Amino acid sequence: MQDADPVRRQWSRAEYYKMAELGWFNGQRAELVGGEVVVVNPQNHPHAYTVDKVADVLRERLGAGHWVRMQLPLQCGTVSEPEPDVAVVTGTRDDYTDHPTSALLVVEVGDTSLQYDRTQKMSLYARCGIADYWIINLVDRAVEVHRDPMEDSAQPFGFRYREVVRLAATESIAPLAKPEAGIAVADMLP
């Protein structure tokens, strides 16, 4: 018998829901990313404040026809169901009978999770075809804008963004979904 390296088991969305139903994650914030159950850190005040602030700004700037969702699941295939800090989808909540499978814009607020947001989450969102991914970088008080998903086998989920721009607090950005809706970066920072 030959020795083999241990193999990580990928969990499906259905199994993930069954685990939650059985109470496996009680008292924890968890999400399914690439078949792995990831337990995320509790939110400190700057993170929670920024998530709420970004959602408010996006609701105001994008207006009707856009559902701004805070920390709710996105279906990204059979083995990933991330819960981005903020996601913007078309329509209203009444238009959906299940979690959306895509988003016009995904925003993650990065402080303790900054490296994870730049690698795992970035590659996953690119693979899911999210055209506009922003990281609100609380460490450097900036917004990192990722656009134009492309294949890249060196990335965790085989995709990355072709365009990555870092904007300082003094600059502005507009979502691809509504280019006329300019937003000052400072308006999204604590």
Q: Are strands 132-137 and 105-110 parallel, antiparallel or unpaired?
A: parallel
Per-residue model confidence (pLDDT) at position 1: 57
Cβ pair 155, 145 in contact under 8 A? no
In-domain check, residue 37: no
Number of domains observed in the structure of the chain: 1
In-domain check, residue 157: yes
In-domain check, residue 15: no
Per-residue model confidence (pLDDT) at position 17: 79
| Angstrom distances, CA of residue 111 to CA of 8, 97, 126, 133 | 28, 33, 21, 16
Kindly report the number of other CB atoms within 10 A of residue 161's CB atom: 23
Q: pLDDT tens track of the chain, all 190 residues?
A: 567 787 778 888 888 878 878 888 887 787 788 888 888 777 889 999 999 999 999 999 999 999 999 999 999 988 889 999 999 999 999 999 999 999 999 999 999 889 999 999 999 999 999 999 999 999 999 999 999 999 999 999 999 999 999 999 999 999 999 999 999 999 999 9
In-domain check, residue 35: no
The three-state secondary structure class of 113 is coil
In-domain check, residue 81: yes
Per-residue model confidence (pLDDT) at position 2: 65
CATH number of the domain that 100 lies in?
Answer: 3.90.1570.10
In-domain check, residue 163: yes
Q: What are the structure tokens assigned to 1, written together?
A: 């018998």
**CA gap 11, 147 in Å, rounded:** 29
Q: What is the pTM of this model?
A: 0.88
Residue with tokens 């795992």: 120
Q: What are the structure tokens assigned to 36, written together?
A: 């792995």
In-domain check, residue 58: yes
Q: Which domain holds residue 95?
A: 43-188
In-domain check, residue 9: no
